[in-house]
Amino acid sequence: MLNIVNVGYDSTNYYVIETAATKLLVDVGFPGTLPKLNHALKRTGITLSAITYLLVTHYHPDHAGLAQELKQQGMTLIVLEPRVAAIPELKRYMKPQYHYQEIMLDDNVTTSLAQSRAFLHGIGIDGEIIATPGHSDDSVTLVLDVGIAFIGDLRPPQMITDETLQRSWEAIRAHQVQTIYPGHGPVYRLAEATSG
């Protein structure tokens, strides 16, 4: 079983990946938007307490702002080892009126990109987390073996403007991805790469 449910709000997509074994949330909203998330969840029949894990594609306010609040609700944040340094940087984007709750570093589960397949397998998800810098240095993409990728805010292939983006898309294509679930906007099919 594999279900992907968009529980997004405020022009950003947040996806619940549901397998027989687990429910994983990909990205979260701004600080203080827990009621909005709960409202979005209510429409889907998924309860917040049923979501066990949270993965953040990159540490920007509209993708990670609510992370600590969700951890307080019982969710476990999956942190990629080389991305730990990006977490404290998040507070730079936060204005005082956001009432941002800083993401604590000592109560997450940590894995490396190289170990991510084994880690995901252990929680019942077949896939891998790969580095896809371009939108930000810390950006990662979650690739599911069924050919789906959660890319966060990586620019689409038709908007590749530099080497970094080029390499990130090559890495995604190397995983036989067909369908892209972006952080903003609709899901799209990945066209075959044209050569020459």
Residues that bind Zn ion (CB under 5 A): 62, 153, 183
CB neighbours of 107 closer than 8 A, spacing ≥ 6? 71, 77
Q: Give CA–CA dist 170/193, Å, rounded.
A: 9
Q: At which residue do the structure tokens 């992907």 appear?
A: 4
- Mark residue 27 as left, alpha or beta (left: phi above 0; alpha: psi -120 to 50; beta: remaining): left
- Our CB check for Zn ion shows the closer of 111 and 132 to be 132
DSSP states along 133-180: -SSSTT-EEEEETTTEEEEETPPPGGG--SHHHHHHHHHHHTTT--EE
Taking the complex as a whole, how short is the minimal distance between the CB of residue 135 and Zn ion, in angstroms? 8
Taking the complex as a whole, how short is the minimal distance between the CB of residue 180 and Zn ion, in angstroms? 15
- Our CB check for Zn ion shows the closer of 8 and 127 to be 8
CB neighbours of 164 closer than 8 A, spacing ≥ 6? 133, 134
- Our CB check for Zn ion shows the closer of 111 and 140 to be 140
Q: Give CA–CA dist 101/109, Å, rounded.
A: 18
Give the containing element (helix H, strand E) for 3.
strand 2-6
Taking the complex as a whole, how short is the minimal distance between the CB of residue 43 and Zn ion, in angstroms? 22
In this structure, the number of other CB atoms found within 10 A of the CB of residue 73 comes to 14
- Our CB check for Zn ion shows the closer of 14 and 53 to be 14
- Our CB check for Zn ion shows the closer of 8 and 111 to be 8
Q: Give CA–CA dist 122/140, Å, rounded.
A: 20
- Our CB check for Zn ion shows the closer of 111 and 150 to be 150
Taking the complex as a whole, how short is the minimal distance between the CB of residue 50 and Zn ion, in angstroms? 25
Taking the complex as a whole, how short is the minimal distance between the CB of residue 62 and Zn ion, in angstroms? 4
Taking the complex as a whole, how short is the minimal distance between the CB of residue 168 and Zn ion, in angstroms? 16
